[in-house]
Amino acid sequence: MRTWIEPVVAGSQLAGCFYDTGLLLVVKNYYNQTNTLSNSSSEDVLQKSISNFYIIYNLIIRLTPLPSAYILAKIGDTGKRKITLCVPLVGFFISSLCLLFVTLWDLPIKVMFGPAVFNGLCGWFIAYWSSVMAWASLDSSTMRRSLRLVITECTFGLAGFIGSLISGHIFIYQVDNHPGIILVCCSLASYAFCHLYIIFILKTPHCEIIKKEEIISESAVDQAEDQAVTQEVPTERSRLINSSKEIASLKKTYVFSSKVTIFLLFLSATLYNSAVNGAEDVINFFMLKKPLSWGPVEVGYGNAAAYMIFVTSFLGVFVFSRCLQDLSLVIFGMFSFLAGILIMAFVRWTYLYYIARLAMMFSLIPMPTIRAILSKLTKESSYGKVFAVLQIIIGVVSVATSTAYIEIYQVTLDWFSGFSFIVISIVAFISFIPISFIAWQTYARKESPATQG
């Protein structure tokens, strides 16, 4: 029980939801007041001001963590995994504290670029989530890893759902005519709880289950090799030598094939994640603009619907993993996102937004499943580095693609605001190609022995 990372995931995500909702609405209120003072009340001007702020903010917070995230991952792989959780949480805490000061003292919103730099230097979400995934992988068996990682993601989603559902209601309560103060204080309290839990309660998981499985798998491989030799070579010594060479050749082929598979998994995960994150970035602005024009409560409900996808994705894995392999689950989830984002492009009414979210109900299956596949192809001592490198690549690509999606949204705002979602759907479809190739390769390998037999 004390090795479970889920309480930290829930607490930090609850705090993160409060912070994200608070920041978005504080930014909106700030530019509303600024535009009123400058007599430019156009909604398009407001949209562009908000999106320009987030372009710079996202560039800072997604690029600065790159070196520190890798350093923290290496520290985590030496066994000091609590450090890799605490340091990013310090960055989150300081960012929330600065948002409190900005809200309380009516400081310029660009002050938030400072804590974004500090948050990035602490590793931000890149270091934090790769540490969480490494921790959950170490605390699970190989057979149950896909389900365990999805449970962790489900916890993340449930906390996000609750946080988003109540954040809009909490935001409207004012302290000295300042909305959002109580919301940010709740965020700070939740981050403080996470630190206390990690320091005093959480225990680093031991890898006994994994080591036992590795011993069993190694002995199974040796036994299979012995069987192959005895089957192919009944008596002749020369054929035994040839068989040994064939086994060595097969091992080299397997290593090369594993590297190709890892590369393709990285490629697919990066493209797909850039599409999903880019969609969420654009949706944040899309909700505030006509025809939706949502307020704090509606924004909270919209975000809650997005976080419910974590729960439905978990249920999808729990149900469909009994009849589908990991790669099939990934493809299934990708098509779910593709359908939803195409509907989102044509959203003009609130009910249609929720239909789009319903179509996306399995769209979060691919990422934890891909991580589970990667963990099965790498050594346990390298989990931290592998997941950190994946998050770093995702972070770099997301910066470029997210900025591009927002720019496309700004340019096409007047004639078709959903055009950026069409572009995102094309990227999501491209991410499907590497996974399909791996699935075809796996199917071909399974079929070839049967054909030979």
Tally of domains within the chain: 1
Tell me whether residue 97 is in a domain.
yes
Tell me whether residue 238 is in a domain.
no
| Alpha-helical runs (H) found in 345-418 | 350-359, 366-377, 383-411
What is the per-residue pLDDT across 142-170, written as a single tens digit (0 to 9) for each? 777 777 888 898 899 899 889 988 888 88
Q: For residues 69 and 144, is the Cβ–Cβ distance under 8 A? A: no
Which amino acid makes up residue 339?
Answer: A
Q: Which domain holds residue 318?
A: 6-201+255-437
Tokens of 269: 């995960």
Tokens of 360: 């996306």
Tell me whether residue 404 is in a domain.
yes
Tell me whether residue 399 is in a domain.
yes
Tell me whether residue 12 is in a domain.
yes
Give the integer Cα–Cα distance in Å for 377 and 263. 11
pLDDT at 449: 55
**Looking up tokens 């700030």, which residue turns up?**
30
What is the per-residue pLDDT across 274-303, written as a single tens digit (0 to 9) for each? 999 999 988 888 887 777 788 877 887 888
The helix or strand, by DSSP H or E, that contains position 83, with its residue range, turns out to be: helix 81-105
Give one DSSP letter per residue of 278-314, joined into a string: HHHHHHHHHTTSTTT---HHHHHHHHHHHHHHHHHHH
Is 70 exceeded by the pLDDT of residue 307? yes
Q: For residues 179 and 25, is the Cβ–Cβ distance under 8 A? A: yes
Tell me whether residue 326 is in a domain.
yes
Give the integer Cα–Cα distance in Å for 73 and 69. 6
Least confidently predicted of 32-36, 68-72, 181-185, 332-336:
32-36
List C-alpha distances in Å: 128 to 69, 266, 314. Answer: 8, 19, 21
Which amino acid makes up residue 282?
Answer: V
Give the integer Cα–Cα distance in Å for 316 and 311. 9
Tell me whether residue 38 is in a domain.
yes
Which DSSP category does 205 fall into? P
Tell me whether residue 229 is in a domain.
no
Tokens of 254: 């397997």
**Spatial CB neighbours of 238, under 8 Å, sequence gap ≥ 6:** none
What is the per-residue pLDDT across 52-109, written as a single tens digit (0 to 9) for each? 898 899 889 988 998 898 899 889 888 888 999 999 999 999 999 999 999 988 899 9
Q: Mean pLDDT score of the chain, rounded to an integer?
A: 82
Cβ neighbours of 34 (radius 10 Å): 15
CA quadruple 308, 152, 92, 410: dihedral sign: negative
Q: What average pLDDT does range 107-134 have in this prediction? A: 92
Give the integer Cα–Cα distance in Å for 191 and 196. 9
What is the per-residue pLDDT across 385-407, written as a single tens digit (0 to 9) for each? 888 888 888 888 888 888 899 88
Give the integer Cα–Cα distance in Å for 182 and 21. 12
Quick one: pLDDT band at residue 347, thresholds 50, 70, 90? confident
Q: Is 197 exposed, middle or buried (0-12, 13-18, 19+ CB in 10 A)?
A: middle
* pTM: predicted TM-score of the whole model, two decimal places: 0.73
Q: What is the CATH number of the domain that holds 197?
A: 1.20.1250.20
